[in-house]
Amino acid sequence: MEKGLKALIFDVDGTLADNEMDGHRVAFNLAFRAAGLNWHWDEPTYHRLLEVFGGKERIRYFVEAYDPRFKAPDGLDAFILDLHKEKTRQYMGLLKAGALPLRPGVERLLREARSAGVRLAVASTTTFENVTLLLSETVGEHAVGWFDVIAAGDVAKNKKPAPDIFLHALERLELDAAECLAIEDTEAGLASARAAGLKTLITVNPTTRHEDFTGAVLVVDQLGEPDRPFEVLAGDAGGATYADLALLRRLHSAE
């Protein structure tokens, strides 16, 4: 039996904001410089590193793959924790400077869902405070309260593409996967959401456009606005030109 759409579960990085290359990457590099390291992640390098989800996991992978002889004075775990704290501080500085706006259609869709009584949640790999600050710096502090659940960072043991973070969000929403729709921007995010049983809409960004999104209910280049139509990359938008709740309900109820 078809269940109605009760909640939208959003990924954050790349989905709410196009913030990987100009946000997280920049913050990692600023943290490396502040720590006196000669590491620098240029765009092609970061593109490859994006296969590893989670900032701390990404740093660890980088050390092992690119600088295996690196020795941290008090051990690698403590070093990564400190370096990642500095990266979060730098990233929050970029958010406060207004460097990272929301993607087209995001705020409109959040408002529409709220006024229709469709609940909102986040399932993200990034640090919790990065999510709340992104919302308060873009929409306003009140927007944090729009979300019933912000599942973020290390609350999930296994990061995407494992389903843990979406399962955690569903548990806290006290909803079945069949009552929700996920919105993601990456192949790993799609795999994570689908493994949790969620139908998933994909809004690609330049970094993820060429990934494999087989299994998504629709793939578009952005959520779009009435005066800024999206491009449909895969699936059937039924003539819609932007993602509103009517389209999301149709996608959710389709077999």
CB of 124 to ligand XBP, least distance (A): 4
CB of 176 to ligand XBP, least distance (A): 22
CB of 127 to ligand XBP, least distance (A): 4
Minimum CB distance to ligand XBP smaller for 29 or for 127:
127
Radius of gyration of the chain (CA): 18
E strand or H helix at 88? helix 76-96
Minimum CB distance to ligand XBP smaller for 16 or for 240:
16
CB of 70 to ligand XBP, least distance (A): 19
Rounded CA-CA distance 29/208 in Å is 21
Tell me if 215 sits within 8 A of 201, measured CB to CB. no
Minimum CB distance to ligand XBP smaller for 146 or for 229:
146
* Interacting residues of 189 by C-beta distance below 8 A, sequence separation 6+: 11, 15, 160, 161, 182, 200
Minimum CB distance to ligand XBP smaller for 55 or for 105:
55
In sequence order, the β-bridge partners of residue 232 are: 220
Amino acid identity at 174: E
Q: Which residue is nearest to ligand XBP (CB)?
A: 55
148 is catalytic: no
212 is catalytic: no
Q: Which of 11, 18, 164, 185 is catalytic?
A: 11
Rounded CA-CA distance 193/135 in Å is 22
Tell me if 114 sits within 8 A of 144, measured CB to CB. no
Residue ranges binding ligand XBP (CB under 6 A): 11-14, 20, 24, 53-55, 87-88, 124-127, 130, 160, 189
E strand or H helix at 195? helix 187-195
**Tokens 């306003």 appear where?**
140
Q: Which residues are catalytic?
A: 11, 13
